[in-house]
Chains A and B, each alone.
Chain A
């Protein structure tokens, strides 16, 4: 029978290693992912808590559409108070765990508490029979790939996993949460990377979550045939269209370079002399001789933007090697080739580290004289240290601000304590407004606006609208690279639940999510009078004559937090990140 009356929340108490289910509130039925995480954290997490203490709450919330047959809709959000921004944080990932949880009717896993013994490790097994916390000390210190190999070796093919690596176990603030992809190998290559949420998971002693939906069906929409017809129509239209992410995000490198946002040497320049050798086109060109190729990271994805990268001997190296990673671990560190970056990317995935935060921290280390520019072998050695608790490695793993502090270095590009992504706020000032005013800090996925010619008086509205659309998208489970609009999402929600959803409702949902997050951050200590963007981005320019600085007045930044009248265009805007 279609319908979702049995939907539930799974509570996990890591202090006592117990689990319980609770009914999923009807009033939240149109909430998933980021929006749901914000509601749960607002209700159940003290914003003033220590992010790595027992009072922080870790939420794993699939999007509303996850587990259905809607295309590219299975993303899962991880949420908590961030040890980097000290505010609310959400990071989402592809792979299959989101869909698998939703097939079991689990709208969110809510992890609380902390084991008395921080040396213990636990796993959480979730299947049709229920959920239980199990000892996992034998996984302690394992890299992500080894951890998943061990965990999944004797599990059915239907199972998927959410894991942390040694960085998360050590509570390093740049730690990510990994999810296994949909390939036969079930690699932990998809990461909810930003904000240090892997450290929160590590602080709770939780090494992995195993989800096995077994023979549970996909979620059956109340809209039945109409839902299926929409999916068919939407998919056909997408496949007949330009499919602009067909070769992955890494091929955007030349455009970013042109826009002065392919940042070089700790963001002292906006363009890299190595743009040709770092262009993701080099990855695509190597597919015929090395193997690898493009694939879907989660079941039912039609975008297929994820690449599988092989080394020159034809062996699997990593997946996916993205534009952000190439910029931060490559150009930002003056590292010259995609092959070198691929090695570092794999190390980050193994350790469970955000490649943006890590690349930014390495850039600060190099800029402060602690490592030669472009020395990828030295960078790899430092990262490898992390697994052994090495001092320099742990400094890098704790992110860009901590690295700047320990290196006593002034040029530390961040917003609200989190490393700036590739998209630089100086040439892309409206995106800078998102970093400064948005509840996610320096995170382009919260609201990316790539319009370098935009007049200043449009920054606030552009940022607010992009943030609102991305909030709804990141609550839906749809991938931003599918580029759904608010109209697309409300049509899907309507057919999923068999109800009419107005434009006003969907826009209000996006705004309410942002308002929840801003309110959390205010209680956590964020202040409107501080734009949160580090001085070096305000004082030092990039681009022609180093003339591009982040010089947006605070008044305009704060305008983006006051709701603009809703306009027609909002509903046709596409999510982008």
Chain B
């Protein structure tokens, strides 16, 4: 199963968990599948307007930075893959 690494600010929907396993076959499917158990996490990552990833979020697959267009969510994943969610958090 792929593992999604959740940053601290996003752990409300995961009830504090920093790692969530998923059986999804793509990145998008992973977030869809997690959404059933942990509602709210997908909306923080996936921009419903564009179908891609939010501007303030980056996804990193096994250490490689991904883009933010909708096609990224179709990226296949296999067991032991790590999908890390990075979030821009700052004031100004």
Do A and B form a real pair?
Answer: yes
Q: Is the CB of B44 within 8 A of A258?
A: yes
- For the complex, is B65 an interface residue (Cβ under 8 Å from A)? yes
Q: Is the CB of B12 within 8 A of A259?
A: yes
- Least CB distance, B47 to chain A, in whole angstroms: 8
Chain A residue, CB-CB nearest to B90: A249
- Least CB distance, B52 to chain A, in whole angstroms: 12
- Least CB distance, B84 to chain A, in whole angstroms: 10
Q: In B1-54, which residues have CB < 8 Å from any A CB?
A: 8-12, 16, 40, 44, 54
Select the stretch in A395-403, A444-452, A495-503, A559-567 that faces chain B: A444-452
Measured CA separation A305–B90 after assembly (Å): 11
Give chain A residues whose Cβ lies under 8 Å from the Cβ of B10. Answer: 255
Q: Is the CB of B55 within 8 A of A284?
A: yes
Give chain A residues whose Cβ lies under 8 Å from the Cβ of B88. Answer: 244-245, 247, 249, 251-252, 255
Interface of B is mostly: loop
Q: Is the CB of B92 within 8 A of A320?
A: yes
Range for the number of chain A residues in contact with chain B: 35 or more
Measured CA separation A207–B57 after assembly (Å): 42
Q: In A233-278, which residues have CB < 8 Å from any B CB?
A: 240-242, 244-245, 247-252, 254-255, 258-259
Q: Is the CB of B92 within 8 A of A448?
A: no
Q: In A502-552, which residues have CB < 8 Å from any B CB?
A: none
Q: Is the CB of A244 within 8 A of B86?
A: yes
Q: In A77-120, which residues have CB < 8 Å from any B CB?
A: none
Chain B residue, CB-CB nearest to A276: B49
Q: Is the CB of B11 within 8 A of A251?
A: no
22 contacts between A and B (CB under 8 A): A242-B65, A242-B86, A245-B90, A249-B90, A251-B54, A252-B88, A255-B9, A255-B56, A255-B89, A258-B12, A258-B40, A281-B55, A305-B92, A322-B92, A450-B9, A452-B12, A453-B16, A481-B90, A576-B89, A576-B90, A577-B90, A577-B92
Q: What is A's interface to B at a CB cutoff of 8 Å?
A: 240-242, 244-245, 247-252, 254-255, 258-259, 281, 284, 305, 320, 322-325, 421-423, 444-445, 448, 450-454, 480-481, 576-577
Q: What is B's interface to A at a CB cutoff of 8 Å?
A: 8-12, 16, 40, 44, 54-56, 58, 60, 65, 86-92
